[in-house]
Amino acid sequence: MKRFLLAAAFFAVLVLLWEAAYRAKIWSPVLLPSPSQVVTYLEGAAADGTLARATVITMRRLLIGYFIGLVVGLPLGLLTARWKLFGDTIGTLALGLQTLPSVCWVPLALLWFGQTEAAMLFVVVMGTLWSVIIATETGVRNVPPIYRRAALTMGSKRLHMWFKVILPAALPFIVSGMKQGWAFAWRSLMAAEIFVTILTGFGLGQLLHYGRELSAMEQVIGIMIVIVVIGLLADKIFFSPIERFLHRRWGTSQA
Amino acid sequence: MLRAGRHHSSATEELQIIPPSKLSVEGVSKSFRSASGNVLALDRVSLKVAEGEFVCLVGTSGCGKTTLLNIIAGLEKADSGAVLADGKPVTGPGRERLVMFQEPALFPWLDVFGNVLFGLKLKPNLTNEDRREVAKYYLELVGLSRFEHANIHELSGGMKQRVSLARALAPNPRVLLMDEPFAALDALTREQLYGDIQEIWKARRKTIVFVTHNVREAACLGDRVLLFSPHPGRIQEEFTVNLPRPRDINSVDLAAHATQITKALKSAGKAEAIAPK
Ligand SMILES: Nc1ncnc2c1ncn2[C@@H]1O[C@H](COP(=O)(O)OP(=O)(O)OP(=O)(O)O)[C@@H](O)[C@H]1O
Ligand SMILES: [Mg+2]
């Protein structure tokens, strides 16, 4: 409770400083709107449904793309760890492509898929996939051989070995890879939405883009806040509990 | 029992004492290729272990004890020679012969109960209730019922070894292969475990091959103590320990045996690392 109050106080001070900067008219009000103007914009956008619609569209792209990235990436990661042939080919490819900022996929996606949902999905998948492959591969390679041997003596083989020993043993790596994949996917999707107008739906990135076109700073800042909040929520709701569980089980947490 | 295809066994049946195996290692050799050339880890090692016998292997570090245990377990293949369990050649790992490894091998992603249950889940013809009951029985046997839902990292070293023991015992193997299970523990905890392991061995009737550096420990636990000599690994000498059980590690008779074994080692000029503690 005390931690919560302190955090709340911190954000209150932040907003107050913002308000003070606005009142002091250091920057033109066109460039720096007041907190209340931003709130008014957000209220309006929430009331007429723009915000909800854009959020749903963005999240749908993100979740579907991310899911595809996971479903394809996990098995590929296992294969690259298991067979040299896959390691030399897909493993190397993943290592190379992971260093490519995923925004770089946007022009290619546009040429291949045009201004469609498929282009958006493609960018998200590319953001997720390589991190997941690499994390899974690293995780599997780092499983201490003693776990396999112990399981072997108890009669574990093939699929049982993969699902009950190797995957769980690699879980800490896999989860951190999933988290990184999520961050990359989220960033690349925002970049893509700002960069490209997709005729089939207006995402948060597009709202941001049009805020700039209309010089509506309160819209730009409002949407930025929404994007930050979504990122935070994903972390708090999805990744934090998993990580806390892993820390508790493995005893790796300091806090 | 008639030849009933899939016969369903209950927890009580699962907990029944099954006859231990007899082991026979026949001329097993094993060499490893390493950066510094070939290392002959085992050179034509032969030994026999009777049903229900407790045999200790003593030897300096690097003389091939773990290698031999791995070969008996079926985790590694011998270059030549064979291991027979009840007359049948060992071709791979199997739950008839379970291992307590030298390194920590408990699964950190499972809690204590999950670890003990792991091998049981791989045994067919048991219901889940049976498995839970059996796992509870062994946790009780090693005195850790209270910790069934603890995470592995929350246990002390001695408790971890107890869980390893329970996990190895739970699938009711005929042979237990123990590789320096108590090396990392303090003397008091070890003494307690010597008592426990003797009691469990008596209660569950297992053939046990137990590897150690500690001569006194070997004399305390073994019916027989085999001395290994290094480079290449061979069985150098064999001692029979005819003391009544349960044995106390601090008893005078036992000390006499230990001294005798140590002396044998020293006279062979290979006692570097084997001085009793
Ligand atoms: N996988 C391996 N690759 C190469 N050399 C090995 C391997 N395993 C064991 N050796 C070598 O074989 C010899 C015997 O090793 P082993 O682990 O069986 O010894 P040990 O008697 O168990 O020693 P300790 O008491 O220290 O555990 C050593 O010289 C070791 O270097
Ligand atoms: Mg060893």
The full DSSP string for A162-220 is IIIIIHHHHHHHHHHHHHHHHHHHHHHHHHHHHH---TT---HHHHHHHHHHTT-HHHH
**Cα angle vertex A15, ends A11, A16, to 5°?**
115
Minimal Cβ distance to B109: which of A146, A149, A249: A249
- Please indicate if any CB of chain B lies within 8 Å of the CB of A150: yes
In the predicted structure, residue B50 carries a pLDDT above the cut 90: yes
CA distance B198 to B218: 12
Q: What is the pTM of this model?
A: 0.85
CA angle A247, A250, A254 (to 5 degrees): 45
Cβ(B52)–Cβ(B207) below 8 Å: yes
Tell me what the mean pLDDT of segment B181-186 comes to. 84
- Determine what percent of chain B is predicted with pLDDT higher than 90: 55
Specify the residue with its C-alpha closest to ligand 1, atom 18: B64
Q: Give pLDDT, residue B1.
A: 39
Q: What is the pLDDT of residues A29-78, one digit of tens each?
A: 888 899 999 999 999 999 999 899 999 999 999 999 999 999 999 999 99
The answer, yes or no, to whether any atom of ligand 1 lies below 6 A from the CB of B41, is yes
Q: Is B32 in the pocket of ligand 1 (CB under 6 A)?
A: yes
Nearest CA to ligand 1 atom 10: B32
Name residue, tokens 């899974």. A136
Query: Residue B231 region, left (φ>0) first, then alpha (ψ -120 to 50), else beta?
Result: left
Helix (H) or strand (E) holding B227: strand B224-229
Q: Please answer yes or no on whether B119 and A249 come within 8 Å at the CB atom.
A: no
Q: Is the pLDDT of residue A10 over 50?
A: yes
Indicate which residue's Cα is closest to atom 29 of ligand 1. Answer: B62
A154 with B153: Cβ contact below 8 A: no
pLDDT score for B246: 86
- Residue-wise pLDDT tens digits, B222-237: 999 999 887 788 888 8
Q: Which residues contact A184 (CB under 8 A, 6 or more apart)?
A: A102, A127, A128, A131
- According to the model, what pLDDT value does residue B273 have? 44
Distances (CA, A) of B69 to B75, B80, B98, B100, B254: 9, 15, 10, 10, 26
- Encode pLDDT of A205-219 as tens digits: 999 998 888 888 899
Work out the burial of residue A249: count CB atoms within 10 Å of its CB; fewer than 13 is exposed, 13-18 middle, 19 or more buried. Answer: buried
pLDDT of residue B9: 63
Measured between alpha carbons, how far is B110 from A214 in angstroms, rounded to an integer?
56
What is the predicted pLDDT for the residue at A143?
A: 94
**Is B105's Cβ below 8 Å from some Cβ in A?**
yes
pLDDT score recorded for residue B5? 44
Chosen from A143, A149, A153 to mutate, greatest number of chain B CBs within 10 A: A153
Ligand 1 center–CA B227 separation, angstroms: 16
Band of residue B215 on the pLDDT scale cut at 50, 70, 90: very high
- Order across the sheet with B37-49: list the strands: B37-49, B23-34, B80-85, B88-89
Integer Cα distance of B167 and A153 in angstroms: 11
Could you give the CA distance from residue B83 to residue B69 in angstroms, rounded to a whole number? 11
- C-alpha distances in angstroms, B68 versus A182, A190, B65, B175, B204? 48, 59, 5, 14, 24
Q: Which residues pair with B98 in a beta bridge?
A: B176
pLDDT of B8 reads 55
Distance CA(B58)–CA(B213), nearest Å, equals 6
ipTM rounded to 2 decimals? 0.87
CATH of domain A33-249: 1.10.3720.10
B65 lines ligand 1 (CB under 6 A): yes
List of residues 6+ apart from A131 with CB closer than 8 A = A73, A98, A177, A178, A180, A181, A184
- Taking only the tens place, the pLDDT of each residue in B242-259 is 988 888 888 888 899 999
Q: B185 or A168: which carries more pLDDT confidence? A: A168
How many whole angstroms separate alpha carbon B207 and alpha carbon B265? Answer: 26
Q: Kindly list the domain boundaries of chain A, sorted by start residue.
A: 33-249
Q: Which helix (H) or strand (E) holds B98?
A: strand B97-100
- The full set of domains in chain B, from first to last, is 11-105+172-274 (3.40.50.300)
What pLDDT score was predicted for residue A253? 67
Chain B residue whose CA is closest to A252:
B153
pLDDT attached to residue A224:
93
